[in-house]
Amino acid sequence: MVVVISLKDVWKVYTMGTVHVAALRGLTVDIKKGEFVSIMGPSGSGKSTSMNMIGCLDVPTKGHIYLYGKDIAHLHESDLAQIRGKRIGFVFQKFNLISSLTALENVTLPMMFQNVSPEQAEARGKELLAKVGLADRMHHRPNELSGGQQQRVSISRALANDPEIILADEPTGNLDSASGKLVLDVLETLHKKDGKTLILVTHDPALGRRADRMCVLKDGQVLKIEQLKRHV
């Protein structure tokens, strides 16, 4: 099976004055194409930093990050931005929607940066919002939507450029349990029916155990990797 993302002995050290803090200490993990992997751990375990590495949002102090076999650990920011735009879709805890734009405009925005025509972007945006049950809310602004609806807009935006990888960082953290379940169901459907590689970063064991495989971090290292389901 094809390995999509591979972290090999990845370290991330932050310098604050004369103090050096190692957020990651030789992290090594492989994520396969079409897999659903959860990254678990308490606050301070390195979850957020590992997400930044996997999502090409930051570069390691040392070590290697391979995306489809190509080492991207030390690419320039402009090159990383291109990779993020085309291959990785992000779903964040705080939604990060632009308040002045409608749901449809929020979803079509990433396509504009990839030179998709306005007509094509609008058609795809409508299709994606319908897919998550928001066909009747696409012209509403974020403050006119519930938290669960805003997160579904965020998922649609993450899918705008048809990325192979969806990286969800605590996607249910700001939602009530019913809305959170709906959002997780949407993400799982994308994984199962559309074959998306899904990486879920969470501190919640119940969510983490919904994955095919759970990677538990402690002090910037892999504490254990647990196979939860047989991945076909």
In tens, the pLDDT along 6-64 reads 999 999 999 988 999 999 999 999 999 999 999 999 888 999 899 999 998 889 999 99
Which residue is listed with tokens 């650990």? 73
Structural domain that includes position 131: 34-49+85-227
What is the per-residue pLDDT across 66-79, written as a single tens digit (0 to 9) for each? 998 889 988 888 88
Q: Provide the pLDDT for residue 83.
A: 86
Would you say residue 199 lies in a domain? yes
Q: Is residue 167's pLDDT more than 90? A: yes
Would you say residue 10 lies in a domain? no
Domain count along the chain: 1
Percentage, residues of the chain above pLDDT 70: 99
Mean pLDDT, the chain, as a whole number?
92
Would you say residue 102 lies in a domain? yes
Helices (H), the chain: 47-54, 77-87, 103-112, 118-131, 147-158, 177-194, 205-208
What is the per-residue pLDDT across 192-230, written as a single tens digit (0 to 9) for each? 999 999 999 998 888 899 999 999 999 999 999 999 976
pTM reported for the whole predicted model? 0.90
Would you say how long the chain is, in residues?
Answer: 232
Q: Which two tokens stand for residue 229?
A: 């389901």
Would you say residue 1 lies in a domain? no
**What's the CATH code of the domain at 42?**
3.40.50.300
